Chains A and B, each alone.
Chain A
Amino acid sequence: MRAPTQRYRNILDFALSSLLRRKGRNLSLTGVYTLVVFVLASLIFFVQALKREARELLVQAPDMVVQRLVAGRHDPILAAQAEAIRSIRGVLEVRPRLWGYYYDPAFGGNLTVMANEHEPIAADAVWIGQGVARNMRVNEGDLISLRAYDGLPMLFLVQKILPTESELVSSDLVLMAPRDVRSLFHFPEGLATDLAITAGNPRELPTIAAKIVERFPDARPILKAELLRTYEAVFDWRGGLMVVVLGSALLSFVIFAWDKATGLSAEERREIGILKSIGWESSDVLLLKFWEGTVVSLTAFLSGILLAYVHVFFFSARLFEHALKGWSVLFPRYRLLPALDGYQLTVLFFLTVLPYTAATLVPIWRAATVDPDAAMRT
Chain B
Amino acid sequence: MIELVQVVKTFQAGLATPFTAVDGVSLSIPEAQITVLKGPSGSGKTTLLTLIGCMARPTSGRIHLHRLPGNVLPQLQAGDSVEITSLPERFLTAIRRRTFGFIFQQFNLIRGISVLENVMLPAYPTGEDHRSVEARAVQRLESLGLGRHLRASVERLSGGEAQRVAIARALINDPTVLIADEPTAHLDSRLSEDFMALMGQFKAAGKTLLITSHDPIVHGSPLADRVVELRDGQIVAEP
Contact = CB atoms under 8 A, between A and B. Distances in A.
Nearest to B129: A1
A17 interface: yes
Interface residues of B, number: 36
A4 B181 contact: no
Contacts of B97: 279
B56 A10 contact: no
A21 B55 contact: no
Contacts, number: 95
Contacts of A18: 113
Contact of A4 (B106, B112, B127): B127
Contact of B55 (A1, A3, A6, A372): A372
Contacts of B93: 279-281, 372
B202 interface: no
A283 B235 CA distance: 37
Contacts of B106: 378
Interface string B34-55: 0000000000001001100001
Contacts of A277: 55, 102, 104, 108
A279 B110 contact: no
A21 B113 contact: yes
A85 B220 CA distance: 115
A375 B113 CA distance: 18
A275 interface: yes
B130 A9 contact: yes
A143 to B, nearest CB: 71
A279 B55 contact: no
Interface in A1-35: 1-4, 6-7, 9-11, 13-14, 17-18, 21-22
Given A280-B93, A377-B46, A14 B121 contact: yes
A275 B127 contact: no
A371 interface: yes
A125 B44 CA distance: 100
**A-side binding surface: helix, strand, loop or mixed?**
helix
B46 A17 contact: no
A291 to B, nearest CB: 12
Contacts of B132: 1
A10 B55 contact: no
Given A2-B127, A10-B127, A373-B55, A278 B102 contact: yes
A77 to B, nearest CB: 78
B169 interface: yes
A374 to B, nearest CB: 9
A282 interface: yes
B125 A280 contact: yes
A376 B129 contact: no
A280 B108 CA distance: 14
A271 interface: yes
A282 B88 CA distance: 12
Contacts of B125: 7, 10-11, 279-281, 284
A7 B124 contact: yes
Given A2-B128, A9-B130, A280-B125, A372 B104 contact: no
B117 A14 contact: yes
Nearest to B175: A279
Nearest to A281: B93
Nearest to B117: A17
B127 A271 contact: no
A90 to B, nearest CB: 72
Nearest to B109: A274
Nearest to B132: A1
B126 to A, nearest CB: 7
Contacts of B102: 277-278, 376
Interface in B156-186: 169, 173, 181
Contacts of B126: 2, 7
Contacts of B46: 376-377
B96 interface: yes
Contact of B96 (A6, A9, A279): A279
Interface of B: 46, 49-50, 55-56, 89-90, 93, 96-97, 102, 104-106, 108-113, 117, 121-130, 132-133, 169, 173, 181
